[in-house]
Amino acid sequence: MATEREFLLRRLHSLLGVIPVGLFLIQHLVVNHFATKSPEAFNTAAHFMENLPFRYVLEIFVIFLPIIFHAIYGLYIAFTARNNVSNYGFVRNWMFMLQRFTGIITLIFIVWHVWETRIAAAMGADVNYDMMASILSSPAMFWFYIVGVIATIFHFANGLWSFCVSWGITVTPRSQQIATYVTLGIFIALSVVGVRAILAFV
């Protein structure tokens, strides 16, 4: 019974990492990428998202609660999983380890980013181009955001591979190999989008 419950929790954890959390990540990166066009374009896109109907309901039930569950159960997996990299140096074992490592970095980054933006907005600050430019004007924060964004994207892309396996989408070795190339492509494409957005603020 306990094994079946853990299996279901892991599948839910995997699902929430893709839908809705992964989709929100992509949407967030796209909005930030408007900064590459102009400060005004970013501000327009950001304010559009702020004015969505039922914004707080969406934030709580589509973003925050799924992220909280994914993070808490992800920490449980990270600290109870056995990494066999030293004994079995296969690519997937390394990916397994990196998934847990980047998950911890991603959690730290998200908490800090929410504090700097969403909590600040709740206290009256305007989340706009100038705010992000001010944050990223510090070299330490610039590199923190670079590492945080890339780690978050890797965690999503590699998690997408695991999702396909967990949900029986990629069963054969061939399909899993194809999924590896596809998710690598997703990682590279989204990393370009994310890093370009950061550079646009500096």
More confident residue, 80 or 154: 154
The reported pTM is 0.92
Phi-psi region of 168 (alpha: psi -120 to 50; beta: other; left: phi over 0): left
The torsion angle over the Cα atoms of residues 96, 99, 100 and 101, rounded to 10 degrees, is 120
Delimit the domains of the chain by residue range. Answer: 2-200
Q: What percent of the chain has pLDDT over 90?
A: 76
Please spell the DSSP secondary structure of 17-86, one letter per residue. Answer: HHTTHHHHHHHHHHHHHGGGT-HHHHHHHHHHHHT-TTHHHHIIIIIIHHHHHHHHHHHHHHHHPPP-TT
Q: Residue 194 has what pLDDT?
A: 98
The one-letter code for the residue type at 139 is: P
More confident residue, 87 or 137: 137
Q: Residue 94 has what pLDDT?
A: 87
- Model confidence pLDDT, tens digit, residues 19-30: 999 999 999 999
Q: Residue 81 has what pLDDT?
A: 73
Report the 10 Å Cβ neighbour count for 94: 14
Q: Residue 172 has what pLDDT?
A: 93
Q: Region 49-59: what's the mean pLDDT?
A: 88
Angle between helices 21-33 and 2-18 (to 10 degrees): 20
104-108, 119-123, 142-146, 179-183 — which is least confidently predicted? 119-123
Place of tokens 């990299």: 85
Q: Residue 84 has what pLDDT?
A: 58
The SS3 of residue 123 is: coil
Q: Residue 90 has what pLDDT?
A: 75
2-200 carries CATH number 1.10.3720.10: no
